[in-house]
Chain A
């Protein structure tokens, strides 16, 4: 039997160079500069629409987003007298268009990948067969900070752990799709997907009669239906709630939006209490039982009796009620071990191991710096690589080699040498780009795609997802906290 390490993808520099070539794939034009067929109708419309109308509509979108309050809070900004400053996420009116056939491929690949990830989570909290078989080094899982021993042996409804997965996908090199990361904890952004569509339909209704665009606004219906199917056994008409950290959370808008659209209560930890292993919410008519909690709160804060003692956001006793099978948490506790960057390189192996299939979606080749060979190569090639903290998220704590100064690279080198096991490295992907309105006019900007995959009795998703776009010229970081914007995502129907 092969050992886990020898089997993982050690990269040949030539393989990496292949996707590092800096001829960016453009979503709208092919290499010869001709319009791609799925953009023809849009481009015709854009050419025929007077610039003044476009400008007016863009201003209208800005005002509308502000008035509705579709904003996100920026952490660490307390300079103004109004704490918790809110910023708009810029919205671009040029959509990202995905032809039907391409989406079919993504759809199948996403279903396969999320299915395997859920199987992995079930396995490592039960028999740990994938570790027994030696496909993943044992200590990578068991010593991972995201591994929750509290979950060992607990059976969750339908065996589903990641009910909602936000899988980040990029297109790179010649046009192939790659999974950048699997967000299995509390992925956010789906409200922007829906609001972007609403805005496009409001601003340019004529576009929707010219194209057959797959609808996305039924996502909240799918979500609540999905949550109801994973209620604890024996509950006939489950009460679903959405648990938020509160109004100062950066994604609070989304929490209120989803709760309202699903018609469920938006609760904070202090609204819930546990009695006899049953969760109740405090209502004006007395306590009411809660069966399914869609929680937008990290594991650490869920229950001060079990995890962080200083959490004011959680519910004392929640873990005990959960372990007793009296309430469902979505996502389950302990999913972070499957979307951790140190586990990411093994996902293709999970697909083969649990499903007996070849992965349909590509992983980005990844160097694991805990391995001496990988570390050596990466330290020699820092200026051309992207280095990420294993536990980092949101675009914080990463190095984008080609965009960094010598000093920044040297500072990062010191951090890597101090704790190499905390980092992974990947080639700097030549992310695809798409024409985007910027100050100087229309220019190409890099983008990614986050589809939201729902797992319950079935695995499904609305076509497309959230397209994020890096608005700074040349930037490859699309996170909203780093100045990214969004675009409506059109999956065309045949």
Chain B
């Protein structure tokens, strides 16, 4: 397959996945803000989203205050913000457009339909209809596109690169959501982990990653931060966990390997082992934030390796 084609497929998947996870992150922040708290604390939570994506500077250029409406506008509909849901879905559609001949008709049409419907939604309408509804729509469109992709495409290299992009982005995004929310929640929570506020807050975090029911099923017990971290990081059977993503990356790299991809495969294997044999007690003792930062660095490094080996090779 053409390197450029692989590149477009990979980024189509990454951008779609990023839009979905951004919707998840904004959704959980929005839900957490519904629990009574000070305005300062709430605005701090919205500000954390900007910090997480290193967007404070460009946000401050265009908006005068960090508050729910401004951050939502910036992260949902702002075409000038390359990380907004609008920009991600536009980039996903442009990448798909560039390789539409490689996609099945259903996959392309789903991606294109998402973009057409998105363009028709003005931010004021989204706000007045309730942002939650919009986030559900983003997640649904992402699910539909993923569904037709895996349900209709030949299981060849094209699909492998789509999977690879999705997995890398998802692992990175889960780590980001966990990183920003875990700290907010830990610092809010007093000694007891089972206060009512906490229940709703941790519940919102789990829901945002579609893991609330899973948590109940796996632990059959009250929600504790350590278990939430364990579930979202180390469980191999939770589709959005770091471990599951690393596992998938290793498998896809095996399927697409070429004569110069051994080093990237080795590093992916190391990352996988790092999660596979980890214990949550050690992770927390070592420092969750440090662990997640290290994970995101390694994902970035794998992305560079994939670029070099497959997507932008020297002649």
Contact = CB atoms under 8 A, between A and B. Distances in A.
B194 interface: no
Nearest to A285: B258
Interface in B240-268: 256, 258-259
Interface residues of B, number: 31
Given A67-B113, A81-B79, A256-B100, A281 B108 contact: no
B262 to A, nearest CB: 14
Given A67-B112, A284-B157, A271 B101 contact: no
Given A69-B112, A267-B2, A283-B2, A256 B258 contact: no
B109 to A, nearest CB: 5
Contacts of B6: 284
A67 B109 contact: yes
Nearest to B315: A273
Contact of B258 (A67, A268, A275, A286): A286
Contacts of A284: 1-3, 6, 157, 161, 256, 258, 310-311
Nearest to A255: B101
A255 B148 CA distance: 24
B4 interface: yes
Nearest to A86: B97
B105 interface: yes
B195 interface: no
Nearest to A80: B119
Contacts of B102: 260, 266
Nearest to B108: A69
Contacts of A287: 315
B94 interface: yes
Nearest to A264: B101
A182 B145 CA distance: 43
B98 A247 contact: yes
B313 interface: yes
Given A67-B113, A68-B105, A259-B101, A282 B2 contact: yes
B23 to A, nearest CB: 21
A270 interface: yes
A260 B101 contact: yes
Given A69-B100, A247-B98, A259-B101, A282 B315 contact: yes
Contact of A281 (B2, B101, B161, B310): B2
A67 B105 CA distance: 10
B200 to A, nearest CB: 39
Interface in A315-346: none
Contacts of B98: 246-247
Contacts of B256: 284
Contacts of A283: 1-3
Interface string B195-213: 0000000000000000000
Contacts of B97: 69, 247
Contacts of A260: 101-102
A353 interface: no
A265 interface: yes
Contacts of B258: 284-286
Contacts of A286: 258-259, 313
Nearest to B109: A67
A257 interface: yes
Contacts of A82: 90, 119
A281 B313 CA distance: 11
A72 to B, nearest CB: 13
Interface of B: 1-6, 79, 90, 94, 97-102, 105, 108-109, 112-113, 116, 119, 157, 161, 256, 258-259, 310-311, 313, 315
Given A68-B105, A247-B94, 15 more contacts: A66-B116, A67-B112, A68-B109, A69-B100, A81-B79, A265-B5, A267-B4, A273-B315, A275-B315, A283-B1, A283-B3, A284-B2, A284-B161, A284-B256, A284-B310
16 contacts: A67-B113, A68-B105, A68-B109, A69-B100, A81-B79, A82-B119, A246-B98, A247-B97, A260-B102, A265-B5, A266-B99, A268-B4, A271-B2, A281-B2, A282-B315, A284-B258
List the 7 closest pairs (A to B, CB-CB), nearest first: A260-B101, A256-B101, A282-B3, A284-B310, A247-B98, A259-B101, A273-B315
